Amino acid sequence: MLKLSLVLKTLLFAVFITALNLSLIFVVGPLFNIQIKQAVFVGEIALVGIISFSYLIFIFFSFYIANSTKNKLNFFTSAATRVGSGEFDKEIELDADDEFGKLASALEELRRLLRDRLNSTEEARNRAEAILFNVGEGVFAVNLKGEIIIFNKVAERLLGFKLEQAINQRYDSLLQFSNSKSRENYGPFINQVLLDGKQLALPKDTVLVTSDQAEIPVAVNASPIRNQKGIIVGGIVVFRDITHEKEIEEIRTDLISIASHQLRTPLSEIKGLVSLLNDNIAGPLNPKQKEYIKLLNVANERMINLVNDLLNISRIEQGRMQLNFQSVNLGSLATEVQKSLLLRAAEHKQKFYLTIDPNLPNVSVDPEKTKEIISNLMENALKYTFDGGTINTRVTTNEIGVWVLVKDSGVGIPKARQKDLFQKFSRVENPLSRLTTGTGLGLYAVKQLVEKQKGRVWFESEEGKGSTFGFVLPVVNKR
């Protein structure tokens, strides 16, 4: 129950005084021999006086209550203004045990809660800023207008722009990302991140232009920034100077290229000498010698294949591989490759089928490189399928382009290793891998060659149930 207000107390007090005086007139008066009429007359006069006195008391208390209420309201207005403006350090105290006191206690509890929340948020923000501004990679963030709102120290050092120069500037008016080879400008790439809400990585040949117009090779990743409700409120870009990595990569590539070229001549000579020995040029060979010559020939062929693969990869990565584009039928290329591998399939009692859809449209590709792609996929299917297994190759077409799909009933690929399939020197351990040879460069070369011909590689596999590898190439003059 709420306490009675001061106004109600005052009225009750006035009524009590009036009742007391009337009692004195009508009860106590006769005791002193006062006549009734006289008493009534005296009572009327006394009553008027009492009522007037009560009104005076009422008015006094009203002014007192109004003034007290006004002071308390001013107190609460001042306290609420301080809290609203972010001043949470001064306590809110009111010496009162009425409703105003309870309200003051509630406001003080709210002040403490807001102060603690603000301190926690400030500490988290300071930690995040300390990490962001001292991380070893360049970082900048933009709002939905593309204006820079964060620009860390590494970004300042790499680009030559100060924080004050970058803040609130449109990122594409200050920062230039482009392709070092094609000179394509990647300026609006953050807009795509803001619209799609997906992460984006720029190509490996991306360079960033500094304030003095120098070009730095960089690895760039951009991601959307979302609030607690999942709404995109900006984007963040992380970039890293890869100059040193590029130099090491070039040295490694040059070394592989030089070494491979130097190895080709002696390996070719060895191959020729082994062939002469097999032809008994140096005299007849006994069975043991023939066995050793056969092993030597196998080892030499493995070395030649490795050198050729390394040279191909080196040419692809350096952009020195020249492709001779022609309008060809992928069904015809697949038929040539399959015929060259039928004997090998027969040796292992494997069923090797080829299905070609009629009326295939032509594709614009390099015939020899495309045959290498098909050969690699078919050879892998033969190598990793048990004796007596089945390999089905199909050449078909859809709205995307012309597909070559090679499906086997082989050992399959563990799910954990599938992400590494198209990496260099990647080989998957399985029951047949010990019986087969390979460099781990085949699928990497396949992917590079397909993509250079504007195609795409695809696969699916389940361990113990086989795999399907394929690629698609665009149709000639398709719009």
Let me know: does 285 contact 294? Beta carbons within 8 Å: no
Same domain for 158 and 102: no
Q: Would you place residue 479 in the very low, low, confident or very high pLDDT band (cuts 50, 70, 90)? A: very low
Q: Are residue 141 and residue 77 in the same domain, yes or no?
A: no
- What residue numbers bound the domain in which 455 lies? 326-473
pLDDT for 152 equals 86
Report how far residue 412's alpha carbon sits from residue 19's, in angstroms, rounded to the nearest whole number.
107
In the predicted model, what is the mean pLDDT of residues 432-441?
Answer: 59
- The per-residue pLDDT for 395 is 95
Burial class (CB in 10 A: 0-12, 13-18, 19+), 227: exposed
**Could you say which of 268, 285, 318 is where a domain stops?**
318
Q: Is the same domain home to 308 and 333?
A: no
Q: Which neighbouring-strand residues pair with 402? A: 397, 473
Helices 287-318, 243-278: inter-axial angle, 10-degree rounding: 150
- Please, are residues 370 and 332 in contact by the beta-carbon 8 Å criterion? no
pLDDT at 2: 39
pLDDT digits (tens, 9 = 90+) for 114-129: 666 766 666 655 565 5
The total domain count for the chain is 4
Position 215 in a domain: yes
In a domain, 5, yes or no: yes
- pLDDT over 70 percentage in the chain: 67
Locus of tokens 């086997």 = 408
Same domain as 256, residue 165: no
pLDDT of residue 329: 93
478 is a domain residue? no
450, 402: one domain: yes
pLDDT in tens, 254-308: 777 777 777 778 888 888 888 888 888 878 888 888 888 888 888 888 788 778 7
Section 444-448 average pLDDT? 88
- Confidence at residue 349, expressed as pLDDT on a 0 to 100 scale: 92
Distance (Å, whole) CA 180 – CA 216: 10
Highest mean pLDDT out of 1-15, 162-176, 370-384, 434-448: 370-384
Place 3 in a pLDDT band, splitting at 50, 70 and 90.
Answer: very low
Pair 117, 146 in one domain: no
Of 291, 318, 345, the one marking the end of a domain is 318
Q: What is the mean pLDDT of residues 366-382?
A: 92
Residues 187 and 254 in one domain: no
Other CB atoms within 10 Å distance of the CB of residue 175: 24
Across 350-366, average pLDDT: 92
Asked whether residue 280 is domain-assigned, the answer is yes
pLDDT of residue 287: 87
- How are beta strands 390-397 and 351-356 bridged, if at all? parallel
Q: Are 396 and 464 found together in one domain?
A: yes
Residue 344 has pLDDT above 60, yes or no: yes
Is 168 found in the same domain as 49? no
How much is the pLDDT for 174?
83
Lowest mean pLDDT among 281-295, 351-365, 387-401: 281-295
Which pLDDT score is estimated for 267? 83
| Residues 277 and 140 reside in one and the same domain | no
Is pLDDT of 234 > 50?
Answer: yes
SS (H, E, C) the chain: CCCCCHHHHHHHHHHHHHHHHHHHHHHHHHHCCCCHHHHHHHHHHHHHHHHHHHHHHHHHHHHHHHHHHHHHHHHHHHHHHHHHCCCCCCCCCCCCCCHHHHHHHHHHHHHHHHHHHHHHHHHHHHHHHHHHHHCCCEEEEEECCCEEEEECHHHHHHHCCCHHHHCCCEHHHHCEEEECCCCCECCCHHHHHHHHCCCEECCCCEEEECCCCCEEEEEEEEEEEECCCCCEEEEEEEEEECHHHHHHHHHHHHHHHHHHHHHHHHHHHHHHHHHHHHCCCCCCCCHHHHHHHHHHHHHHHHHHHHHHHHHHHHHHHHCCCCCCCEEECHHHHHHHHHHHHHHHHHHCCCEEEEEECCCCCCEEECHHHHHHHHHHHHHHHHHCCCCCCEEEEEEEECCCCEEEEEEECCCCCCHHHHHHCCCCCCCCCCCCHHHCCCCCCHHHHHHHHHHHCCCEEEEEEECCCEEEEEEEECECCCC
- On whether the CB atoms of residues 253 and 317 are closer than 8 A, the answer is yes
| CATH number, residue 449 | 3.30.565.10
Rounded to whole angstroms, the Cα distance separating 189 from 322 reads 30
The answer to whether residue 479 sits within a structural domain is: no
* Burial profile 29-47: b = 16 or more Cβ within 10 angstroms, e = fewer: beeeebeeeebeeebeebe
- Residue 269 included in any domain: yes
Task: Quote the CA–CA distance of 341 and 352 in Å, as a whole number.
Answer: 9
Q: Quick check: 354 pLDDT over 90? A: yes
Could you tell me if residue 88 is inside a domain? yes
Which of 241, 270, 296 finishes a domain? 241
* Pair 26, 43: CB distance under 8 Å: yes
What pLDDT, on the 0 to 100 scale, is given for residue 1?
35
CA distances, 134 to each of 46, 154, 465 (Å): 88, 8, 50
| Residue 408 confidence (pLDDT) | 92
Residues 376, 455: one domain?
yes
The CATH code of the domain that includes 212 is: 3.30.450.20
327 pairs with which residues across the strands?
A: 364
Most confident of 149-153, 293-297, 405-409: 405-409
Q: Who's near 209: CB < 8 A, 6+ residues apart? A: 175, 176, 178, 215
Do 226 and 163 belong together in one domain? yes
